[in-house]
Structure formats: C-alpha cells, structure tokens
Amino acid sequence: MLKIRMLVAAIMLASSVSAVQAWDSLPSKAPAPTNNPTTTEKVELGRMLYHDPRLSSTGTVSCASCHNTMAGGEDNRAGSMGVNGQVGGRSAPTVWNAAFNTVQFWDGRAESLEAQAAGPVTNPIEMGMKNWDQVVTRLKAIEGYQHLFTKAFGKDSISKDNTTKAIAAYERTLITPDSPYDYYVNGDQSALTAQQIRGMEKVAELGCTSCHSGAAFNGAGTFQKFPVNDNGYFEAKFDFKKDKGLAEVTKKKKDEHFWKVPTLRNITLTAPYFHNGSVKTLKKAVAIMAKLQLNKDLSDNEVADIVAFLHALTGKFPKQIMPELPATPGLTFNK
C-alpha cells in the first residue's frame, strides 16, 4: 500500500511540476574518494583542524572564520576577512553540501575538497602562513595533534596531505538533506505550500535548472558565464564584471566571466549574493538573475513565488559541537 501511495504521489508531482524536469532529493551521505575514505578518526581530527586558528599566521583565522558551520556555512560578508584585517575580493561560498561540488572555489580552481583545503592556509590575504612546511612544523609541535594524526593515519603522519584529507573528511559530513523540497519530491505533497509549488514551476519554466541542476542545484561542477546579457545599469551598480572569474586562473580570454555554478541549497541563509557579495537581498538577486541570464523581467509576484520556493531548499543541519582543541601549555604561536 505504501508503494502504491508513493507511486501516486510521484505521478501527481510529474503532472503538477514540469514532467520533463528531473527533481532529485539530496543524499544523506556524500561520496568520498578512494584515496580518502571517511573514518570517524579523520572526521574528528578534521573538525579540530577546521576550527583551529593556529593554522593561520596570526592565530586569529580558521576555516570556520569564513565558513561558519554554526550558521549558513559562510560569513555573510561581501568579502571575507583574513589575517591582519585584510578583506578578499569575493564572498565566501557555503561549505554546507560542498561535498557535492565537483570543483571548488568560485572559479573552480580546486578539483576536490582536499585541494580546496590547502589553498586558504597559505593565501597571504586569508590565513597567511608562509608555506605548508611551516604549517606542518607547527602541528608537530602540538602534542595533542601527534596523537590525533596517529589515530587517523598512523604513526608520524602529520603532513600537508593528511591535514587536508582530514579537513575534507569533516566537510563531507556537512550535508543538509530533508528540506521541505526533498520531502515533496519524495512523495509528501503537503511539504510545500501552494506558493512554493508555483515558484518551483516557474523555476522549471524559466529554465533556471538548466544551470542549477542536480540534487544540490549546483550544476554538478559546470561553469556558466555571468552575466550573459549586458546591462549598463546593473554593471554600474554592482560591478559584476570587474572580476574575470575563471580567466583569472586560466589567463584565457574565452574564460572571462565564467563561474562555477553555486548551489541553491540553503540560499536563504547565505546573503549577500553573487561572487562579489554586491546584492544584499534574495529578492533582488532573483530579479537580477532573470534579467542578466535569461533576459526576463519578472513580476513582483513571480519573484515572490521563486523566493518562497528557495526557502523550501533549506535542509536539516547536523548538530555541530565545537571541538576542544589540543593545548600548547606555556607556548604560543601567535604574533
């Protein structure tokens, strides 16, 4: 009987929301690479490293400083603040569900969570360590980390590679399934309001999911040009084209203004919006995307319906417990 009810619900869903649109629910577990299988020991070590400001030159900035797991997975700033009060030129992407990205960073320059974890530590504006040898030396000087790395990777295992593997293993636990949207596509027709269903239908009709596709609404590692359509008013106001995106990495003109497609999951929690954090409200961001990407002028009601649907993409967050970091009695690394 349960299977019959689920089948009927699926048929109703297909008829109420574009039958050609595939709507996928978010898995409750993220896949791990074969060279870094997830273990309890790695996750616990990674949780500590992720929240430890001693991985920065000043002892004041951790991964969590810009990617707050007690909130939306970023810092709600237009530009994230690093060591010595320096501010970067891009808004921090959320770490929640980043495990479902096939590339990381706004410009997609990292091919994995492991590669991404290595970058900010030695970025002079972000965490400011001179090099990874300095990081490893610092970790080896902390007795508690010696024990934790041994449990996770074996004896004498403190290294750049294992540090980033542990952080990535922790980040793969940061999954937010069971949103109202997920319940709806799994057959619970009462999970969304009438307005949210209208917004879902409008998203399909406009073609938003041609880029924001898949269970994470992130295009599964695809890149998209932004903005597609020139608009002098928006450019003057928001300066979207100042940053050349992927071309900053490849140095190729054909890659100018191409960006990794960001997730729409939990988007109501991650203002301000766009790569430079120039748009403060989700309502404005939706209207801008429709105009710049699709050359569509949406009515206030259409925008409101889409925003309502985006609220339905906020999932259930796994409880986060702040770690007790290994101590350094009588010693400080801070400047």
DSSP class per residue in 175-235: -----HHHHHHTT-TTSS-HHHHHHHHHHHHHTGGGTS-TTTTSGGG-EEES-SS--HHHH
Q: Residue 93: exposed, middle, or buried by beta-carbon count in 10 A (0-12, 13-18, 19+)?
A: buried
Residue 64 structure tokens: 């969590």
Determine which one of 44, 111, 114, 126 is catalytic. Answer: 126
Distance of alpha carbon 63 from alpha carbon 121, whole angstroms: 8
8 Å CB contact between 215 and 100: yes
β-partners of residue 245 are 258
Spatial separation of the C-alpha atoms in residues 117 and 112, rounded to whole Å: 9
Place of tokens 């965490």: 127
Domain chopping of the chain, boundaries: 2-28+177-311, 40-171
Let me know if the fold of 2-28+177-311 is the same as that of 40-171.
yes
Question: In 3-state terms, what secondary structure has residue 304?
Answer: helix
| Strand bridging mode 258-260 / 223-225 | antiparallel
- Give the pLDDT band of residue 335 (cuts 50, 70, 90): low
User: What is the pLDDT averaged over residues 66-71?
Assistant: 96
**Rounded average pLDDT over 252-276:** 97
Q: Has this prediction a pTM greater than 0.85?
A: yes
Instruction: Encode pLDDT of 103-121 as tens digits.
Output: 999 999 999 999 999 999 9
Instruction: With cut-offs at 50, 70 and 90, classify the pLDDT of residue 4.
Output: very low
Inter-CA distances, 249 with 89, 108, 127, 129, 278, Å? 15, 9, 20, 21, 22
Q: Match domain 2-28+177-311 to its CATH number in 1.10.760.10, 2.40.30.40, 1.20.1630.10, 3.40.50.150.
A: 1.10.760.10
What confidence score (pLDDT) does residue 2 get?
37
What average pLDDT does the segment 279-297 reach?
98
The one-letter code for the residue type at 105 is F
- Is residue 302 among the annotated active site residues? no
CATH code given to domain 40-171: 1.10.760.10
Say how many Å lie between the first and final Cα of the chain, rounded: 66
- CA pair distance 185, 27, nearest whole angstrom: 13
pLDDT for 21 equals: 57
Report, as an integer, the average pLDDT of 65-87: 96
Distance of CA 63 to the CA centre of its chain: 13
Cβ contact 198:206 at 8 Å: no
